[in-house]
Chains A and B, each alone.
Chain A
Amino acid sequence: AQTVTQSQPEMSVQEAETVTLSCTYDTSESDYYLFWYKQPPSRQMILVIRQEAYKQQNATENRFSVNFQKAAKSFSLKISDSQLGDAAMYFCAYRSVIQGAQKLVFGQGTRLTINP
């Protein structure tokens, strides 16, 4: 079974600075999807960014980018120019492409605090 590990329970960053959240995963599959979701205090799960494993190019969405290292099974999230609204729990997640196994497997989450 796949597992996802986020080794940083909490992180903090100064407003306007850059922060990187770590994620590693374990799988024997060669094709899969990886995601970062943001959960603000409202508890809504908001998609931040996704990465297809077959793509070598790292995904980017405005201030959010990932460093995808397939061989190392690492998928970190970089937030540039941090804003107060970025404060939230961030979850890394893995999704298989195999029929019948396409659930999301989540890491434990990293709580990000933005200091003004």
Chain B
Amino acid sequence: DAGVIQSPRHEVTEMGQEVTLRCKPISGHNSLFWYRQTMMRGLELLIYFNNNVPIDDSGMPEDRFSAKMPNASFSTLKIQPSEPRDSAVYFCASSMTGVIGNTIYFGEGSWLTVV
């Protein structure tokens, strides 16, 4: 079975540009999470969806960040305009809520560098 698929794997962009990160969760999973990892802050949850509905977006840093999940098989995280402090690894993860084990599976991450 395919795991969580993220794109792009690496992106280098200039400050002020729009960045869109994409995620395809594992088929059949109904919860989707966006995490950000930096040296200073570690792994922090940005937002999570359950059945395509945002449940907790308290981790979204500011209005420059937005996330959507138009259907069960696709989600985007957008940064506009991007800033150097947004440089990080962004992980998408998914799980099937209610299944015994309740494990969250991660994609390989999108490495973002804003110069």
* Contacts across chains A and B counted by CB atoms under 8 Å: 56
Q: CB within 8 Å of B: which of A59-116?
A: 91, 95, 97, 99-106, 108-109
Q: Decide if the interface of chain B is mainly helix, strand, loop or mixed.
A: strand
Bound: A101/B108 CA distance, A? 24
B61 within 8 A of A: no
Please report the total number of B residues contacting A with Cβ < 8 Å: 25
Nearest CB to that of B55 among chain A residues?
Answer: A100
Q: Which of B17-25, B67-75, B78-86, B95-103 contacts A (4 or more CB under 8 A)?
A: B95-103
Contact call B45/A103, Cβ cutoff below 8 A = yes
Please report the total number of A residues contacting B with Cβ < 8 Å: 24
Chain B residues at the A interface, C-beta cutoff of 8 Å: 31, 33, 35, 37, 42-43, 45, 48, 50, 55-56, 89, 91, 93, 95, 97, 101-106, 108-109, 111
Chain A residues at the B interface, C-beta cutoff of 8 Å: 33, 35, 37, 42-47, 50, 52, 91, 95, 97, 99-106, 108-109
